[in-house]
Amino acid sequence: MRGLLLHLRIILINSRLMSSPIEFLLRRFKPLFFGLSAAIFLAASVHAANSADNQTGSAPSTRYGPFGLLDHSSQYGLGVLPEPFLVDDLDLEVNELRLDLFDTRTGAQHTDLFKAELEKGFGPVTFELEFLYERDVSTGVVSEGVNSINPGVRVPFYQYVSASVDTTFGVATEVALPVNSARSRNTEVVPKIFNDLILGDHFTLQSIFGYSTLFGPGPDRNSQHFELGFVFGYTFQHKELPIPGVRQLIPMFELKGESGINRNDAGRTALLGDLGFRVNLKAVGRAQPRLGFAFVFPLNQVERCNEHWATITSFVFDF
């Protein structure tokens, strides 16, 4: 017992030396997230099997997909979840075009990152193609060029729906393809696991965990990072906030973390946050515009060295 208490005391002392509890989780408990994902998948399989056994002839099942793990009554893919600014989009998108401007300031340095993204859904699967263009201004010198081209895919594997809870677990993969420039020399592969949670009529939480690895000739080749992101949203419907032309107003808060696993960044954790909002406008013909703006800020010293503050302006069109 004394040995256990001493070990717990050492862990607590070390956690105080880190700049935030999130950094402590990132550095100490990365395997926990992957173990939890496996446990969730196992529990989901058992739950789906039990649900199938409990169905009666008078209540047709809404379950579908492999082993009945998905649910037709889920709001996944119905536009309830707001599009994140920093974190990856985790909802099902049938036809979506997105244009973003990420404006970053670090002292005298100014960086603009332009993003164009097209998403297409086939059943529960969403495919995406992202194009990034970067423009840097430092001490009056301007440099610009294509940053990367990023294809990706995501698919849910389990859904649970009750009167007030609607949750979807899924897996995703994103690949950043290099364009053989100073900005892009390595291929990045990021497998991910995500969860979309809808509570009642207002609150949403999107969570994602990923493992990034770089391949190629660049100086950062073979470097690995553990990534996480959380997106909190609270939706006001038009009847609650009757702004002309606006269907929903969604205040949002995001948290994005990245922890180095090997090489020079091992043990270094960067934390970034933002406060913003999405305005979902009424449809114009077949297109439904969704506008957004967020103020981005560093949450620890490591990220503060990368950027002091930033803004994101986002235009999304569902069609």
Would strands 288-298 and 309-318 be described as parallel, antiparallel, or unpaired? antiparallel
Has residue 115 got a pLDDT over 80? yes
Beta bridge partners of 207: 195, 230
Residue 109: band (very low, low, confident or very high) from pLDDT cuts 50, 70, 90 = confident
Residue 47: the pLDDT is 54
Residue 98: the pLDDT is 98
Q: Which residues contact 231 (CB under 8 A, 6 or more apart)?
A: 82, 84, 87, 90, 204, 205, 206, 207, 252, 253, 254
Tens digit of each residue's pLDDT (9 = 90 or more) over 131-143: 999 999 988 788 8
Q: Could you list the residue range(s) of the whole structural domain that residue 84 is in?
A: 2-53+61-318
The CATH number for 69's domain is 2.40.160.40
Model-wide pTM > 0.75:
yes
Please report which residue ranges of the chain form alpha helices under DSSP H: 2-17, 21-28, 30-54, 301-306
Return the DSSP state at 223.
-
User: Coil, strand, or helix at residue 77?
Assistant: coil
Tens digit of each residue's pLDDT (9 = 90 or more) over 243-256: 999 999 999 999 99
Has residue 49 got a pLDDT over 70? no
The tokens describing 24, both together, are 């402590």
Tens digit of each residue's pLDDT (9 = 90 or more) over 63-76: 999 999 999 999 99
User: Coil, strand, or helix at residue 206?
Assistant: strand
Task: Read off the pLDDT of each residue in 19-32 and give the average, rounded to a whole number.
Answer: 51
User: Coil, strand, or helix at residue 219?
Assistant: coil
Residue 51: band (very low, low, confident or very high) from pLDDT cuts 50, 70, 90 = low
Q: How many domains is the chain built from?
A: 1
Amino acid, single-letter form, for residue 22 = I
